[in-house]
Amino acid sequence: MNPKKKKRIKAELASDYGVRCWWNCSVADQFSFEQLTIDHLRPTSKGGSDSPENLRLACKQCNQSRGDSLSPPQQRYRSSSLNGYSS
């Protein structure tokens, strides 16, 4: 994904879901737009696409802790509720 497209998609995701970590981590609301990363709900290595339906904003810690897993991030980064997902 080129930088221009990435910036546009981040702006769309922020508009749709807010400027916060999708995974509801313990510091989900403490990030600026620039600090958030684009996370694939279904990683591209597992057949996921770059379509907006498969993308969410996540903090670097949550995004990296997931790696190419289909599971939510490790519990140490999350608060007790998780946007309807369970581990």
Tens digit of pLDDT at every position of the chain (87 positions): 899 999 999 999 999 999 999 998 878 788 999 999 999 999 999 999 999 999 999 999 999 999 999 999 876 555 544 454 443
65 — alpha (psi -120 to 50), left (phi > 0) or beta?
alpha
Domain around 24: 3-69
Contacts of residue 12, Cβ cutoff 8 Å, sequence gap at least 6: 52
Whether 58 is in a domain gets the answer yes
Tell me whether residue 8 is in a domain: yes
Whether residue 78 is contained in a domain is answered as no
pLDDT of residue 87: 39
Q: Give the pLDDT score at 86.
A: 42
Number of domains in the chain: 1
Contact 41, 16 (CB under 8 A): no
Q: Pairing relation of β-strands 37-40 and 55-58?
A: antiparallel
